[in-house]
């Protein structure tokens, strides 16, 4: 167990221009439910048995109230950058007009970050679709892609000069597969056809938004954040199954974006499941990106099913986090090298990486040694990939602070900072102190 977070002194991660940051997302921290439109997660939280602790995002970390102290806390961590997301439901009214109060909130937040010399990495969509759009079909309705481009147009004008880096979407896999295909996330739809169609419309939304960003802010970098849980075969006989899972869950997104084509697996899907794809869609989807954001938490093993498809298989006796996810840092090196071999990658940021652990607050301290070890081993895994030629230029710890962990509610804690929800007190965990110590070592 590593008790500090360290990197070799000569590591390129400790030199310019490598960026270290922390990340959050709007619905998970903001609260202030009454000052924005309802979104699909508000609705989903009301459905019985959808959230493990029956909670919701009404208050979360009350970041809308405490944002100034949160910015001071981010600055205190000595990070170069902060990755946040904008809530679509906070910046637009239902008729498409601007919610000035919402826009002002983000403007003030971004200005405060800039005043402290912290780079602003803005994600435009981290799963919180306005409910009125879901009522029109949500991501199953092609018009939602255009609505996202229109929203992007408003945001990029209103926040002109305040954003250093735009990501269109966070993890379209989760929105599409978890939300529309297996229904464990909002909006809770369970249909393979819906999952594939939602994925396509999300990617189309990404491409259309890229065009808007290029036009409105050509000097600001723009890209997308994708999650990867690399697929491994449980046994030798499961190699084909793992390859199918890899195409279905991971390559589906990156391949479309970087090459303008879906994996060959598309052709194996029945006509009732295949998404409807417009003539020019793949060209729009593969609009050139400046970066790919990679979110990595774990790998997944697969075994072959009787109908020659794939199913998740659990490895026994491996170290896991509080989510039950295997701790496998080499997977991050292997993932980066494999993407590097398969594609002409633009620059890469690790936009999320972190671990939920069963933290305890004892005498005002959280000794989260397992999380410290997780960050140490995963940062060294990034270092190993960079040494082998992968162009990674930044790393964002997930998350700045404990927050609403989607279907798990507040029971799973991913923060560097502990949140005592009853008082909204923030307490730096050992991992936050170690992360800061590593960043302060750098001569910048
Ligand atoms: C990612 C999400 C993020 C957080 C982490 C644990 O899939 O992007 O919001 O929930 O998982």
pLDDT mean over 310-315: 96
Contact 311, 303 (CB under 8 A): yes
294 falls within a domain: yes
- Annotation says 334 is catalytic: no
186 falls within a domain: yes
C-beta contacts of 210-213 below 8 A and 24+ residues apart: 210/168, 210/287, 210/289, 211/149, 211/284, 211/287, 212/149, 212/152, 212/153, 212/156, 213/152, 213/156, 213/166, 213/168
| Cβ of 402 below 6 Å from ligand 1 | no
- What does the angle CA 209 – CA 349 – CA 384 come to, to the nearest 5 degrees? 155
Q: What confidence tens digit (pLDDT) does each residue in 212-252 have? A: 999 999 999 999 999 999 999 999 999 999 999 999 999 99
| Cβ of 128 below 6 Å from ligand 1 | no
What's the 167 CA to ligand 1 centre distance in angstroms? 15
Contact 318, 326 (CB under 8 A): yes
7 falls within a domain: no
Compute the distance between CA of residue 55 and CA of residue 287 in angstroms, rounded to an integer.
Answer: 39
Contact 62, 424 (CB under 8 A): yes
Compute the distance between CA of residue 19 and CA of residue 6 in angstroms, rounded to an integer.
Answer: 16
User: Is 80 exceeded by the pLDDT of residue 101?
Assistant: yes
What's the 280 CA to ligand 1 centre distance in angstroms? 31
- Annotation says 352 is catalytic: yes
| Cβ of 26 below 6 Å from ligand 1 | no
Contact 67, 105 (CB under 8 A): yes
Which protein residue has the closest C-alpha to ligand 1 atom 4? Answer: 405
Q: 171, 246, 287, 405: which is the annotated catalytic residue?
A: 171
Which protein residue has the closest C-alpha to ligand 1 atom 10? Answer: 405
What's the 443 CA to ligand 1 centre distance in angstroms? 31
Atom of ligand 1 nearest to the CA of 170: 8
| Cβ of 171 below 6 Å from ligand 1 | yes
- Tokens at residue 300, please? 């997944």
**The pLDDT value given to residue 54:** 98
188 falls within a domain: yes
pLDDT mean over 355-363: 98
Contact 5, 430 (CB under 8 A): no
Determine the residue of 51, 352, 414 to mutate for testing ligand 1's pocket, defined as the one with the most ligand atoms within 8 A of the Cβ atom: 352
Q: What confidence tens digit (pLDDT) does each residue in 402-431 have? A: 999 999 999 999 999 999 999 999 999 999
Q: How far is CA 211 from the centre of its chain?
A: 21
Quick count: other Cβ atoms within 10 Å of Cβ 54?
Answer: 11
**The pLDDT value given to residue 162:** 99
Give percent above pLDDT 90 in the chain.
Answer: 99
User: Is 70 exceeded by the pLDDT of residue 295?
Assistant: yes
Q: What confidence tens digit (pLDDT) does each residue in 46-75 have? A: 999 999 999 999 999 999 999 999 999 999
Q: Which residues constitute the domain of residue 215?
A: 12-442
pTM of the model: 0.98
What's the 296 CA to ligand 1 centre distance in angstroms? 10
166 falls within a domain: yes
Q: What confidence tens digit (pLDDT) does each residue in 157-182 have? A: 999 999 999 999 999 999 999 999 99
**The pLDDT value given to residue 259:** 98
What's the 51 CA to ligand 1 centre distance in angstroms? 15
Atom of ligand 1 nearest to the CA of 406: 10
| Cβ of 174 below 6 Å from ligand 1 | yes
| Cβ of 170 below 6 Å from ligand 1 | yes
Q: 30, 221, 352, 405: which is the annotated catalytic residue?
A: 352
| CATH code, domain carrying 273 | 3.20.20.80
User: Is 70 exceeded by the pLDDT of residue 436?
Assistant: yes
Q: What confidence tens digit (pLDDT) does each residue in 128-164 have? A: 999 999 999 999 999 999 999 999 999 999 999 999 9
3-class DSSP assignment, residue 291: strand
Total tally of structural domains belonging to the chain:
1
5 falls within a domain: no
- The DSSP call for residue 181 is I
**The pLDDT value given to residue 217:** 98
What's the 41 CA to ligand 1 centre distance in angstroms? 14
Determine the residue of 124, 171, 202, 300 to mutate for testing ligand 1's pocket, defined as the one with the most ligand atoms within 8 A of the Cβ atom: 171
Pairing relationship of beta strands 310-313 and 347-352 according to DSSP bridges = unpaired
| Cβ of 405 below 6 Å from ligand 1 | yes
The residues with which 228 forms a beta bridge, in sequence order, are: 296
**The pLDDT value given to residue 245:** 98
**The pLDDT value given to residue 288:** 98
Compute the distance between CA of residue 294 and CA of residue 170 in angstroms, rounded to an integer.
Answer: 10
Determine the residue of 295, 353, 402, 404 to mutate for testing ligand 1's pocket, defined as the one with the most ligand atoms within 8 A of the Cβ atom: 295
| Cβ of 396 below 6 Å from ligand 1 | no
What's the 8 CA to ligand 1 centre distance in angstroms? 29
Strands (E), 325-405: 347-352, 392-398
User: Is 90 exceeded by the pLDDT of residue 444?
Assistant: no
**The pLDDT value given to residue 304:** 98
Atom of ligand 1 nearest to the CA of 174: 7
Compute the distance between CA of residue 89 and CA of residue 86 in angstroms, rounded to an integer.
Answer: 9
What's the 52 CA to ligand 1 centre distance in angstroms? 16
6 falls within a domain: no
Q: What confidence tens digit (pLDDT) does each residue in 2-53 have? A: 999 999 999 999 999 999 999 999 999 999 999 999 999 999 999 999 999 9
Q: What confidence tens digit (pLDDT) does each residue in 180-208 have? A: 999 999 999 999 999 999 999 999 999 99
């Amino acid at each position: 167990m590593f008790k500090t977070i360290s990197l070799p002194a000569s590591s390129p991660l400790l030199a310019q221009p490598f960026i270290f940051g922390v990340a959050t997302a709007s619905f998970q921290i903001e609260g202030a439910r009454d000052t924005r439109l309802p979104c699909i997660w508000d609705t989903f939280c009301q459905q019985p048995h959808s959230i493990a602790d029956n909670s919701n995002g009404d208050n979360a970390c009350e970041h809308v109230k405490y944002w100034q102290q949160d910015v001071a806390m981010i600055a205190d961590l000595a990070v170069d950058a902060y990755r946040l997301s904008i809530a679509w439901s906070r910046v637009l009214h239902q008729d498409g007009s601007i919610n000035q109060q919402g826009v002002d909130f983000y403007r003030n937040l971004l200005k405060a970050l800039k005043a402290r010399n912290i780079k602003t990495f803005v994600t435009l969509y981290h799963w919180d679709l306005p409910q009125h759009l879901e009522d029109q079909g949500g991501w199953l309705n092609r018009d939602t892609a255009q609505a996202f481009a229109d929203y992007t147009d408003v945001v990029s004008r209103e926040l002109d000069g305040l954003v250093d880096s735009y990501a269109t979407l966070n993890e379209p896999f989760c929105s599409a597969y978890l939300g529309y295909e297996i229904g464990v996330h909002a909006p809770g739809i369970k249909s393979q056809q819906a999952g594939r169609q939602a994925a396509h419309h999300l990617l189309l939304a990404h491409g259309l938004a890229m065009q808007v960003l290029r036009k409105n802010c050509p000097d600001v970098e723009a890209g997308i954040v994708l999650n990867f849980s690399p697929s491994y075969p449980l046994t030798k006989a499961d190699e084909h199954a793992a390859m199918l899972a890899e195409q279905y869950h991971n390559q589906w997104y990156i391949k479309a974006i970087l090459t303008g084509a879906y994996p060959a697996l598309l052709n194996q899907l029945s006509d009732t499941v295949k998404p409807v794809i417009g003539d020019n869609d793949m060209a729009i989807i593969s609009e050139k990106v400046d970066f790919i954001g990679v979110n990595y938490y774990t790998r997944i093993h697969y075994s072959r099913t009787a109908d020659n498809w794939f199913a998740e298989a659990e490895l026994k006796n491996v170290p896991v986090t509080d989510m039950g996810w295997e701790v496998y840092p080499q997977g991050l090196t292997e993932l980066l090298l494999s993407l590097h071999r398969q594609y002409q990658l633009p620059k890469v940021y690790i936009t999320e990486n972190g671990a939920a652990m069963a933290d305890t607050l004892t005498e005002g301290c959280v000794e989260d040694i397992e999380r410290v070890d997780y960050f140490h081993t995963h940062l060294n895994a990034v270092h190993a990939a960079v040494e082998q030629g992968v162009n990674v230029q930044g790393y964002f710890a997930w998350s700045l602070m404990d927050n609403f962990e989607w279907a798990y509610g507040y029971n799973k804690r991913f923060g560097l900072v502990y949140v005592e929800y009853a008082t909204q007190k923030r307490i730096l965990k050992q991992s936050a102190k170690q992360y800061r110590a590593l960043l302060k070592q750098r001569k910048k």
